[in-house]
């Protein structure tokens, strides 16, 4: 049988309770003041004390994250608490440092992107003004090129910020019932220009009305996959989208992916050799899709044949 002393090397406090009394605890638990025969009320206090006490007394499992004041440490810590009523175990995971670090990282990302956006907006504004004054078509062409580059830069900053937040676990996803048609319509509307300019025929096959997912995550995955399918397709070809309760599939008849490039397409900033010639891009789209899938517990796979087409499949479970 597992003894609580066997848990001395783990970083969480593990406390065995009898009602509200501490029976025993591992080494970390003792550091927080969970000592034999002590009542929980004399070990710590917090705003949710009533809920915690109520759940433990009535033998209900619970998990919550909160700020707790530990009397022995004389300090407030941010912890996540888990109570397993069957075994009478209370597990206390101190996430104070993790939270501080994440806040610092978020602060850094936000500051950097803000510092880049400010001069970028100023440059865009000046190009816009110059374009208005310029009559020479050659110079106008150059200004338009600058404008496109600035737009690309803006996209890269925006996408990098989003990707960093997802990778750091700072994107708070919210599961809800989402109308598939609503998201599809929005994505198609956003990509309308791209779809029409290449005369792509988008075929839809949707066998589910609602999906339990995060609205923005589903939208972002679909938009990136469809945008790629359109970008890397031959003009006037067909792109198919299937959505069912189990999966999302985006299938195209485009240039496909070379065998030797397949293992790199999910890398940050990686762009295929032919893709570079075919359409503008940041090389971040699939990286974002991959990390969003990981965060949601989805599995992504693809099949592709060079010069014949590709199919990306996202399995929801």
Binding site for ligand ADP (CB under 6 A): 224, 228-229, 232, 252, 254-257, 265, 270-272, 275, 281-287, 310
272 closest CA partner among 235, 307, 314, 315: 307
- Find the shortest distance in angstroms from Cβ 152 to ligand ADP: 10
- Helix (H) or strand (E) holding 11, with range, is none
108 closest CA partner among 173, 160, 172, 174: 160
Choose between 24 and 228: whose C-beta lies nearer to ligand ADP: 228
- Find the shortest distance in angstroms from Cβ 159 to ligand ADP: 9
- Find the shortest distance in angstroms from Cβ 235 to ligand ADP: 14
Choose between 25 and 287: whose C-beta lies nearer to ligand ADP: 287
- Find the shortest distance in angstroms from Cβ 222 to ligand ADP: 13
Choose between 16 and 223: whose C-beta lies nearer to ligand ADP: 223
Choose between 108 and 269: whose C-beta lies nearer to ligand ADP: 269
- Find the shortest distance in angstroms from Cβ 239 to ligand ADP: 9
User: What sign results for the dihedral spanned by CA atoms 220, 226, 229, 231?
Assistant: negative
Choose between 84 and 152: whose C-beta lies nearer to ligand ADP: 152
- Find the shortest distance in angstroms from Cβ 176 to ligand ADP: 27
- Helix (H) or strand (E) holding 158, with range, is helix 137-167
- Find the shortest distance in angstroms from Cβ 164 to ligand ADP: 15
Neighbours of 193 (CB within 10 A): 9
Choose between 15 and 286: whose C-beta lies nearer to ligand ADP: 286
98 closest CA partner among 8, 7, 168, 171: 168
Please state, in angstroms and rounded to a whole number, the distance separating the CA atoms of residues 106 and 114: 12
CA angle 44, 45, 47 (to 5 degrees): 150
Please state, in angstroms and rounded to a whole number, the distance separating the CA atoms of residues 232 and 276: 10
Count of residues making up the chain: 317
Choose between 220 and 224: whose C-beta lies nearer to ligand ADP: 224
DSSP class of 39: B
288 closest CA partner among 167, 148, 184, 147: 167
């Amino acid at each position: 049988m597992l003894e609580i002393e066997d848990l001395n090397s783990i970083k969480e406090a593990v406390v065995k309770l009898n009602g509200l009394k501490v029976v025993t605890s591992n080494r970390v638990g003792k550091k927080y003041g969970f000592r034999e025969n002590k009542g929980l009320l004399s070990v710590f206090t917090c705003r949710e004390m009533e809920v915690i006490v109520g759940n433990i007394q009535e033998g209900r499992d619970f998990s919550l994250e909160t700020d707790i004041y530990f009397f022995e440490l004389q300090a407030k810590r941010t912890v996540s608490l888990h109570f397993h009523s069957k075994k009478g175990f209370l597990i206390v995971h101190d996430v104070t440092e993790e939270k501080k670090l994440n806040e610092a990282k978020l602060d850094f990302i936000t500051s950097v992107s803000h510092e880049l956006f400010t001069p970028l907006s100023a440059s865009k504004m000046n190009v816009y003004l110059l374009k208005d004054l310029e009559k020479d078509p050659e110079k106008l062409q150059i200004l338009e090129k600058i404008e496109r580059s600035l737009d690309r830069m803006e996209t890269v900053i925006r996408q990098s910020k989003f990707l960093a937040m997802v990778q750091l676990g700072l994107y708070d996803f919210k599961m809800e019932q989402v109308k598939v048609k609503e998201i599809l319509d929005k994505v198609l509307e956003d990509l309308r220009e791209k779809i029409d300019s290449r005369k792509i025929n988008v075929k839809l096959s949707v066998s589910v009305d609602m999906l339990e997912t995060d609205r923005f995550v589903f939208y972002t995955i679909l938009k990136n996959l469809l945008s790629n399918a359109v970008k890397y397709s031959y003009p006037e070809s067909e792109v198919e989208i299937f959505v069912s309760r189990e999966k999302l599939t985006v299938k195209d008849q485009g240039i496909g992916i070379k065998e030797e490039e397949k293992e790199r397409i999910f890398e940050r900033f990686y762009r295929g050799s032919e893709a570079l010639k075919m359409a503008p891009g940041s090389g971040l789209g699939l990286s974002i899709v991959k990390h969003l899938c990981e965060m949601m517990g989805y599995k992504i796979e693809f099949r592709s044949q060079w010069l014949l087409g590709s199919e990306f499949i996202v399995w929801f479970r």
